[in-house]
Amino acid sequence: MSRKIALAADHAGYEEKEKLKPTLDELGIEYTDMGTASTDSVDYPDYARKVAEAVSNGEVEQGLLVCGSGTGMAIAANKVKGVRAAVAWNEDIARLAREHNDANVLSLPARFMSDEDAKKVVKAFFNSNFEGGRHGRRVEKISEMEESEG
């Protein structure tokens, strides 16, 4: 069964996003590209929100975001209920984000990674699964924090 994700980038991540599509194809991941479509300047929260909302409402299972540092997209995505976006720049961080934190959105720092490293990080993230156990209790506490907002 194929997994479905949403992906998006701002202007700084556009080229890397496009370069990662063959890697997603190789992994058998179906994706919906939610923009941007060029290197013209855009506001990254707009694109992070599109992906985060698609994850939150169950339209897709996971998300992939790409911006200059990865941080802005992750901060914006994490404002959407049910999203756990993680910035990862190496395979170990990507794998642990999935295994220990049940991250459902990967945010990449395009300006700080080679194309090859970006591919490796994407593979590590999407090939890893949440371990549950003691980590499940911790992730549940994050969800409880979300519920108590307001």
Residues known to be catalytic: 67, 100
Residue 142: count of CB within 10 angstroms of its CB: 11
Which one, of 77, 75, 113, lies nearest residue 94 by Cα? 113
- Kindly state the tokens that stand for 129: 């699964």
Give the SS3 label for residue 96.
helix
Q: Fill in the amino acid letter for 136.
A: G
The residue assigned the tokens 């890893």 is 128
Contact 62, 3 (CB under 8 A): yes
Contact 51, 105 (CB under 8 A): yes
Residue 110: count of CB within 10 angstroms of its CB: 22
